[in-house]
Amino acid sequence: MSFLTWPAALMAASISIPLLLLLYFLKLRRVERTISSTLLWKKAIQDLQVNAPFQKLRKNLLLLLQFLLLLAVLMAIAGPVVNFVRQPERNVVLLIDQSASMRTKEADGRLRIDLAREAARDFVDNLPSGSKAMVVAFSDRAEVVCTFTNDKRRLKDRIDSIEATDAKSRIGEALQLAVAYSSSFVETTGDAGFNPESLQIADIELFGDGRLTDAADEFVTRARMTHHIIGQASDNVGITAYDVRREIDRPGVVSVFAEIQNFGDKPVTLDASLFLDDKLKDVQQVTLGPASIATSRPASDDLLSGRNVLFEPFDHDAGGVLTVKLSRDDSFPLDNVASGPIDPPRALRVLVVADDREIAYMMERVFRDALEINDVTLMGAGNYEDAEESELAVEGRSAFDLVVLSDHDTARLFPGNYIFFGGVPKIDSLTVDGDVEENFFVTWREGHPLLRYVTLDNVYTRKWKRLNLPPHAARLVDGEDSTVMALITDPGHRYLVVAFGLLDTNFRMQPAFPIFMQNAVDYLAGGAVTDSSRLIAPGDTFTVPTPPGAQMMTVVRPDGTEEEVAVEDRHTMTYGRTREIGSYLVKFDDKDKTTETFCANILDATESTIRPNKALTLSGQAIETVSGDVEVNEPLWPWAVGLALVLLLVEWWIYNRRVMI
What residue ranges bind another protein (CB under 8 A)? 26-27, 29-45, 47-48, 656-657, 659-661
User: Would you say 33 or 56 has its CB closer to another protein?
Assistant: 33
**Least distance from another protein to the Cβ atom of residue 80, Å:** 41
**Least distance from another protein to the Cβ atom of residue 70, Å:** 28
**Least distance from another protein to the Cβ atom of residue 28, Å:** 9
User: Would you say 34 or 561 has its CB closer to another protein?
Assistant: 34
Q: Compute the distance between CA of residue 329 and CA of residue 346 in angstroms, rounded to an integer.
A: 38
Closest by Cα among 226, 212, 125, 124 to 178: 226
Whether the Cβ atoms of residue 239 and residue 123 lie closer than 8 Å to each other? no
Q: Which amino acid is it at 545? A: P
User: Would you say 6 or 653 has its CB closer to another protein?
Assistant: 653
**Least distance from another protein to the Cβ atom of residue 15, Å:** 23
Inter-CA distances, 512 with 439, 454, 541, Å: 17, 5, 35
Q: Which amino acid is it at 247? A: E
Neighbours of 283 (CB within 10 A): 13
Neighbours of 458 (CB within 10 A): 12
Q: Is the dihedral of CA 404, 408, 409, 410 positive or negative?
A: negative
**Least distance from another protein to the Cβ atom of residue 21, Å:** 16
Backbone angles phi, psi at 103, to 5 degrees: -85, 5
Neighbours of 14 (CB within 10 A): 9
**Least distance from another protein to the Cβ atom of residue 48, Å:** 6
Q: Compute the distance between CA of residue 364 and CA of residue 30 in angstroms, rounded to an integer.
A: 120
User: Would you say 14 or 46 has its CB closer to another protein?
Assistant: 46
**Least distance from another protein to the Cβ atom of residue 68, Å:** 23
Q: Compute the distance between CA of residue 529 and CA of residue 91 in angstroms, rounded to an integer.
A: 54
User: Would you say 282 or 651 has its CB closer to another protein?
Assistant: 651
**Least distance from another protein to the Cβ atom of residue 46, Å:** 10
**Which own/partner contact pairs does 73-82 have at CB distance under 8 Å and 24+ positions apart?**
75/637, 75/641, 75/644, 78/637, 78/640, 79/1, 79/3, 79/637, 80/1, 82/635, 82/637
User: Would you say 40 or 70 has its CB closer to another protein?
Assistant: 40
**Least distance from another protein to the Cβ atom of residue 108, Å:** 52
Element (H, E) at 481: none
Helix (H), strand (E), coil (C) string for 333-373: HHHHEEEEEECCCCCCEEEEECCCHHHHHHHHHHHHHHCCC
